[in-house]
Structure 1
Amino acid sequence: MYKTVNSKAFIISCLAIALATVILPTGLVVAQEGPFAGIKEKMASISETERDNLENLFVLGQQIKEMEKEEARITRDIETKNGEIEGLKIAIAGEEIAYSKKLADLKQVLRSYQRMGPGTYLEIILNSDNLAMLLRKINTLRDITRNTGKLMELLEESKVKQLSEKATLAEKVTLIEDNQKQIRESMTKKKQLIEDQERYLASLKEKREYYQDDLANLQMNWDELKNSVPMIIKELSRIIDEGYIPSEKLNISYNFMSIKASVDEKTINEIISGYPSLPKIVFSFYPNRVEISMPEKNLLLSGVFVIQEEHTLKFQVKEGSFYGMPLDSGAIEDLFLKGDLVFNLKLPLSDYTINSIKTTAGNLEWTITPTY
């Protein structure tokens, strides 16, 4: 049944996975050579000691930026919780007013009951002229009793609600205090990192200005990479729509329960090299690991594939480096601030599930389970 599937359509769909998992991370460098040329030449000419010094400064810069992001996040949390606290205070004040009113109503009912006394109620009933009047008076007394009970229930509910809201308020106040403590710690760490950077620069003495200039250029190039991600996503969509891989380069096998396909890294590299809108991209498959490198841009990303939903794959970046300098988790996150690398695999089948995906030495392999 599945052997009759249109070969070209299936091949293009298979290419979608391979291209998506390779191009998006590498697309961080769609921009032209521009600002990279100067720093690239300088990085190639510096000594190992100078490279180590610049790497230390670059890493410190990443850590400082991460602390700044953490401060901003905690500040937003504090502002949100302060707003929630104000809302709770208003709700508690309103509940206290309602409670006082209900309490006053209950006091009035009880005062009337005490003034009349139980004998008066009996007299009212016995003085009825007929059965209809008797029943009406009994119902009236029953309503008074019922209303008294209802008022007491409402008072109890109001009291419980007040206690709950006050407990919630106390929790939020505690969270605010914790957040304020966190931001103080974050600011202390940031200050320490800045002092470390200053001391390190001071230790370089006459070369301080030289390293500051290099660091500024390196940061400028890094910012350029981060800004290019949306362009790569757009380019990826176009490439997937137009992509084609020769059927003889795609290994497909069928059995009663699943369809298995694989493609080698050489084929993918050849396909990508045919798109002039992309920089040179080289990727390598290893057991349980994918490496994507861009030699012209000195960017390397390493990660794994995970199945997010039935038809959706996600590329998780585990490690990265820029000009050979390690990228921390915060810097890697900066590359994908507009969303994770998520890909929907569309195949010409009515219903199916991506059962598994893995990388081996030089190959990308995946298995699809059709729903019969």
Structure 2
Amino acid sequence: MDFVCANAGRPATSVTRRDVARALLAVPSGVALVALPDLRRAMMSAGNPLSLPFWESAKATLSSIEAGVATVGDVQRWVESTGTEPILMTPSYFVWPEEDERGPVAAEMFDRLVAHLEERVASGEVDPDALANGDLEARRAYEELQERWLGTPLPDGRVPGFAVSDEQDEELFAAWDEEEAFALSELRRIVAELPKQPELPADDLEAAAGRLRRLLALPGYPANVLRACAGFDERPVPDDDQELWLAVAAGIAGPISDLSEGGDVLEEFADLDGDLSEEDTALANLCAIQHADWLAGVAALTRLGPGVLASPERMARLIAESEDIDADEQDDDDLDATEGLFLSVVGLWIYLGIVTEDEVLTPLGWWGLPKALERAWSQAAE
């Protein structure tokens, strides 16, 4: 009892089913099972006996855990059946962060919802025994109650669900910016340490820019993907050849916008049996490549110089063997996944003259790839 009260931060007379459930889960299941009868008697002596369905559900859940047959979902569902535990994922797909990953806003809103549910239990609106017994109607009402609370403004105007999501977005963007800044600093260090700095092949750039201008004026793939990558659907194509080429090359490493032309995108992605278009597949692959993989791949090509093979398979190997990033040992499935992502990259590089038709790095690619990557990672800071 002392452990339960200390864990809950309440006296025995105020301890809830949720408090007891969380305390029981905080110790080994065998220990909790042995302590269960004494704990139940202590709760009765304190004038807070809880209920038979709760104790039976506690014994059943702890026994399943001890036997090794309980899933994480089973345990989560049991804690939620106490009537005051927020549902981890609501029917509208709002998901609470894990307890050790909640920011100040998420922690505050979670505690507010727990308090709200405690009030609803006290008023009889929530029936924990019905939840413990698996009553579907009670569960549905419990879910709807939480959905309403998450979407209802608090006195200070904040909407709980949006407030938590906004905080998570801010944390995600901050982590992304930190990763990008580190990758940029490493890229600059690697280029600065090269024994010979790449020189601009002016004639190659002029020819590549001319081909690129003609290509960007065409409909369909790959022009639509390259325009989206560089953001040329929202701004004019630059007159300067170097600016044009670097904008498109940087966009491949960090697409600025999505496809803008035709079709019902939501309907297309909702069709699970259908195949993605070539352009959607390409953009999805570009967006899935991590900073570390871009850094490892481009750093390797920059060190090796023109004439090195830069096929998707070779890129996957260079990334897996890179000493510039901390990477776990990769198996064939990991290599195949990376190779699949770089199929789109290398295919687009050919149109820019970064690699030849035979997927060999050109002098233009040797000069331009690190500059394009630096540009892509510097845009957010600017």
Query: What TM-score, normalized to structure 1?
Result: 0.21
Higher-Rg structure is 1
User: Looking at both structures, which has the greater relative contact order when contacts are Cα pairs under 8 Å and sequence separation is at least 6?
Assistant: 1
> Which of the two has greater strand per residue?
1
Query: What TM-score, normalized to structure 2?
Result: 0.20
